[in-house]
Amino acid sequence: MILDDHVLPRAEENDPSVGFQALGGSTGTGSQHSNDHFPLPSDWQELLDKYFHTTHSWLPIAEKHELLKISYSLRAIEAPATGHTTSSRGDNAFLAAAFAYVIQREQKDVGGTRNEELLRLSTFAIDLLDFPGDSNEPGHVRALLLLTLAQIDNNKWDQAWRTVGRAVYMMVSLLDINDAMTMSSAEEGHKRTLLGCFAMEALVATRLKRRTYLSYADVQTLGLLSTNTVEEWEPWQSSTGPGTDGIQTALGRVVSLFNHFMRLAAMMHELQLDTGNAKTQDSAVRFGNWKGQLQQTYAMSLSPHSSPQLLNLSTAVTTMQIMVETQITTQLSPTTLNELSVLVETLEHQVSSDKALTSSLVPSTIDLYLSLIEDSLIQQGSDQASGTQDQIVHILSSIKRLRSVKMEIGGRSRTGERLAADSLAGASVVSSNSGQPQPNNVVAETASLQPPSIEHGIWNVDDDDMLFDTMATLDSTNWIDNLPDFVRGLGSVRTASPDLQALIDGAF
C-alpha cells in the first residue's frame, strides 16, 4: 500500500471509541482546556524521579533540567509567591505525557485510585498536541515519543510506527536535516530530541521490517551528545523510592551509553533490511569491530541490579549478535549462548522481583529485542538453541503476566471496568479532519477493557485505511513528481528520494 508507512489514518467521526467522550474527556478539538497549564500531581517530584530513573536513563530525549524547569514553572503558577515563569504548550504536553507514562507503567495506586488523574494527564497531553493552529515545538515531539513507548509497551507496533512517524515529521520541520550547518550547530535539546526520533524510528522499523526516514548519516551530521555533562557522571542506584535503599551504586553513563545505542540501532535496522550474503557479511564485520571497541571501553556484564541504560544496550548487543550468527550460520557460538543465558537470567530476576519499581526498570525495548531473538531462532530452526528459545518465550510471557497481575491487586476484576491504563489506551495520533491529513491534529480514542499489556494498546491509533486507499489510487508518475509538495504538507522537508522502492516503503 503506497505510503502506508508513517502516514496518519483518519478517524471515523461516527466511531464511538474515538475520543475520551465516554469517559468525560476531550474530543480532540483542543477546546477542552482554556489554559496552557495543568495542576501538578501531588507527588510530582516523585514522579519526576521515577521518570528520570526508569525512562530518561536509557532514552534521554531532553536534558533533565528542562523537565525540572517546566515543573517548577507550573508550580510557580499554583504558588505565585515563589515567582512566576512560563512554559510553552509543547513543554507542558511533554511533562503531562511523562507523568502519565510513569503512572501507567507503575500502576502505583491499583484498584482505581489514580484512574481520574491518569485520564486527566493523558487527555491534557493529547489536547495540547491537537491544539488548532499551534506551532510545533520540541516538547510536542517528546510527548509523541513517549506515546510511541506506551504503544510499544502494549505491542501496538503499527500504531507506534505511525506515531513515531509523526514525531519525525514534526522534528524535521523544526530542524532542517538537509542543512549541515544547521545540524552541526543545533542546540542540545534539539539534538537529543532528533536522536530520540532516530532511535525509536529505527527500532520500530526493525521490528516491522520497514525503511526509515532518518538515517545514520543524519546522526553523523548532527553529531552525538557531549559526554561532558552532569548526567554522564551521576551515580546510578539500583533501587529508589520510599522505603527502599540503594542496593548498588555505579556510574550512570547515561549519555555515552545512549550514543552507543544510536549506532547499534542503525546497524540492527540495516541488518534486518539487508538481503544477500555479501551485505550480511559486511554488517557482521562492522558490528564485530564496533562490539570489540565497546567491550574495550565498558564492562558490559549484566547483573540483577543493572541499570535500564545498561540493560537496554546489553540486550540490544546480544540481539544483534544472535541476528548476525543466525543469518550466517544455523549455529550459535558458545559465547553467544552464554550471553543469552545471562540475559535471560537477568530478565527473570527483574520481572519476578516484588519491588514496586522493578518491572518498570525493564525498558520498553526489551520485548522488541526478545521478539527479534525468537524470530531469528525460529527461522533458522537451530536445534542447539531450542531450549534457549523456550526460555525466551517464558520471559515474554512472564513480563506480560507480571504487568497483568499488578493490575488485579486488591481483587479488582477487569471485566466490564475501565482501569487507569485504559485512559492511555485511547490516545490516538490521527487526523481529526476527514478530508486531509493534518499533522498537528490528534484524536483521543478509548478501547474496550482488556489486560492492557496483552490485548489493547495505550494511546491507540485508529486502523482506518481510507486515507491510504485514496493515495494508492494516485497516478504514480505524477505523485513522484509532486512528492516534495505533498511531503511538505505533512511537515517533512527532505528532498524526494530517487529510489522508488524506498518511496513505496515509506523512506521519504
With respect to residue 4, please indicate whether it lies within any of the assigned structural domains.
no
With respect to residue 66, please indicate whether it lies within any of the assigned structural domains.
yes
Residue 310 identity: L
Task: Assess contact for 449 and 412: CB atoms under 8 A.
Answer: no
Tell me what pLDDT residue 164 has: 98
Count of beta carbons in the 10 Å neighbourhood of residue 258? 27
With respect to residue 256, please indicate whether it lies within any of the assigned structural domains.
yes
With respect to residue 421, please indicate whether it lies within any of the assigned structural domains.
yes
Count of beta carbons in the 10 Å neighbourhood of residue 70? 26
Three-state SS at 288: helix
Tell me what pLDDT residue 353 has: 61
Residue 454 identity: I
In sequence order, the 6+-apart residues with CB closer than 8 A to the CB of 343 are: 302, 314, 315, 318
Cell representation of residue 254 = 547515561
Q: What is the DSSP code (8-state) at residue 361?
A: G
DSSP per-residue letters across 128-197: HHT-TTPPP-HHHHHHHHHHHHHHHHTT-HHHHHHHHHHHHHHHHHHS-TT-HHHHHT--HHHHHHHHHH
Tell me what pLDDT residue 10 has: 33
Cell representation of residue 319 = 540481539
Number of domains making up the chain: 1
With respect to residue 11, please indicate whether it lies within any of the assigned structural domains.
no
Tell me what pLDDT residue 116 has: 82
DSSP per-residue letters across 374-414: HHHHHHHT-STTHHHHHHHHHHHHHHHHHHHHHHTTTT---
Between helix 44-51 and helix 89-106 the angle, nearest 10°, is 80
Cell representation of residue 2 = 503506497
Instruction: Return d(Cα 226, Cα 63) in angstroms, integer.
Output: 12
With respect to residue 447, please indicate whether it lies within any of the assigned structural domains.
yes
pLDDT, tens digit, 9 for 90 and up, residues 95-107 = 999 999 998 887 6
With respect to residue 2, please indicate whether it lies within any of the assigned structural domains.
no
Domain hosting 415: range is 21-504
With respect to residue 366, please indicate whether it lies within any of the assigned structural domains.
yes
* Chain position carrying cell 562492522: 286
Tell me what pLDDT residue 424 has: 47
Which residue ranges in the chain fall short of pLDDT 50? 1-4, 7-34, 81-83, 108-111, 132-133, 240-244, 246, 354, 356, 358, 382-383, 385, 402-403, 405-426, 428-508
Tell me what pLDDT residue 398 has: 59
